[in-house]
Structure 1
Amino acid sequence: MLLIFDCDGVLVDSEPLSCRIDAEILTECGVPYTAEDVARDFTGVSIKDQIARIESERGTRLPADFTERLNRTLFQRFETELKPIPGVREAILALPFRRCVASSSIPERIALSLRVTGLADLFDTIFSSTQVARGKPAPDLFLHAARQMNARPEDCLVVEDSMAGVQAAIAAGMRVIGFAGGGHCGPDHAENLRRAGAPIVINRMADLPGTVQELA
């Protein structure tokens, strides 16, 4: 079995920080958003798809340097403020299966996130939505990861915190565990993941090893 981990909100508790910064930069660009708006609309979505949706829905064009400004600010704050999801290292080390990361973030952000949280040594392989035509909720990223890891979709188990990610895993023909223990997860998050199609949702990383073993 191949375990495929999302990064933001599953391995690292980045969503509250990144949503806040995203909203700040968007508002500075004249497109007002709150952190709650960003969390609701764009959790698990690639920056490319986020920009396209904002420009379509708001009838505007974001500055050409929007992505650069956003990433520069995020990277600076991640260096000092980013933390791992509690218990995630211990949970991963308790699982004897092959593993990789497949995230909507750009490769540089994934690598930085894993480094500053002390998780980089757990993953030899990371995959980014920049490597495929369509981001989540399309299945492209997860299917790409499976191909590169020489695994059949039916032999993959995805751990995801976003509705888009859950939908992508199911569209790829993979099993999925929803995770609702990140700092951005409100009281309805677990139910939203179930509604997106996750048959099992956990709230603590301590529950991951037992859940995975039951599905193996």
Structure 2
Amino acid sequence: MVDAVIFDLDGVIVDSEPVWEEVRRAYVATHGGIWQPDSQRRLMGMSTGEWAQYLSGELGVTRTAEQVATEVVDEMTRRYAERVPLIDDADEVVRRIAARWPLGLASSSPTRLIAATLAVTGLTDSFRTTLSTEETARGKPAPDVYLAVARRLGVDPTRCAAVEDSSNGVRSAAAAGMRVVAVPHGSYPLDPDAAQLAAVTLGSVDELTPEVVERLP
């Protein structure tokens, strides 16, 4: 039985992964770094501190990790002020699941972007609690953020369902002991090992219904 549902944000509710990739690619090029073929896949799920250090260290950006984090998030905030890329019907999906279970949000986005996104989409009140990996010791694929959200909800992690799109996100929720509903992004398919961790895989988030959650093994 599932007692709570925990959503990821990027790639599940908002189609932000392409925006993050565009912004970080441009930032790396502007500041003397070299983007690698596997950079986007590696970045998905990292906390702000982790990806800022990755850009500054491994990709050779000529800025400190602190500068990288501030400047990239500033640009993302500017983009979101123009348009939040809400995935079709994702807001309605969240509301129909919230009508049945308490919801949490476990995201790798910075806290200020989470707040802005939920405010613009009208979903702030749908979630009992939200948490950024900025506030945990480790980002995804470590289970920290999912365990912390379950603790805030007062629900055993093994009685939570998690809705995720990325390989690192699926690994994170599975490592926390949760039943994972995978909704892979068409441009960023799951790695084979992550795909095997999902209890169910959906073609799009609008396929997520209370019946799907109730049938989770």
| Alignment TM-score > 0.5, same fold | yes
Q: Kindly provide the CA deviation profile for residues 28-76 of structure 1, in whole angstroms up to 9, marking residues without a partner as x.
A: 1111327x75432211221211233345534666334111111111101
In structure 2, what is the equivalent of residue 57 of structure 1? 58
Distance 1:196 1:43, change over 3 A: farther
For residue 118 of structure 1, what is the amino acid of its counterpart? Answer: G
Question: 8 Å contact 1:137–1:167 — kept in the other structure?
Answer: yes
1:141/1:196 CA distance change after superposition, 3 Å: farther
Aligned equivalents of 2:54 and 2:16: distance in 1?
Answer: 22
Identity of aligned residues (%): 31
Aligned pairs for 1:31-180 within 5 A: 31-33=33-35, 37-58=38-59, 62-63=63-64, 64-95=66-97, 96-180=100-184
Deviations 1:74-102 (A, max 9, x none): 10111112221111122222220110111
**What is the rounded CA distance, in whole Å, between the counterparts of 1:139 and 1:194 in structure 2?**
14
Distance 1:65 1:196, change over 3 A: farther
SS at match of 1:102: strand
Q: Could you tell me which runs of 5 or more consecutive residues in structure 1 were left unpaired when the two chains were aligned.
A: none
Letter in 2 for 1:17: V
How many residues were matched structurally?
211
In the alignment, residue 203 of structure 1 is paired with which amino acid? Answer: G
Please say which of residues 136-145 and 115-124 is displaced more in the overlay. 115-124
Q: Which amino acid aligns with 1:24?
A: A
Q: Per the alignment, in what secondary structure is the counterpart of residue 100 of structure 1? A: strand
CA contact (8 A) 1:51 1:62 kept: no
Distance 1:68 1:26 in 2: 14
Q: Take 1:44 and 1:192, find their aligned partners in 2: how far apart are those partners?
A: 17
**1:44 corresponds to which letter in structure 2?**
G
Query: Does the 8 A contact of 2:34 with 2:59 survive in 1?
Result: no
Cα distance in 2, alignment partners of residues 190 and 45 from structure 1: 16
Aligned in 2, Cα 1:131/1:154: closer, same or farther, shift over 3 Å?
same
CA shift at 1:159, angstroms? 0.4
CA RMSD of aligned residues (A): 2.2
Describe the SS at the equivalent of 2:163: strand
| 3-state secondary structure, aligned to 1:45 | coil
Task: Tell me by how many angstroms 1:213 deviates.
Answer: 2.5
Quote the Cα distance in structure 2 between the aligned partners of 1:71 and 1:83: 16
- Report the Cα distance in structure 2 between the residues aligned to 1:155 and 1:173, rounded to whole angstroms: 8
Q: Compared with structure 1, are the counterparts of its residues 30 and 164 closer, same or farther at alpha carbon in structure 2 (3 Å cutoff)? A: same
What is the alpha-carbon distance in structure 1 between the residues aligned to residue 50 and residue 206 of structure 2? 33
C-alpha separation between the residues in 2 aligned to 1:111 and 1:193? 32
Structure 1 residues 22 and 59: alpha-carbon distance in aligned structure 2, compared to 1, 3 A threshold: closer
Q: TM-score, normalised by structure 2?
A: 0.87
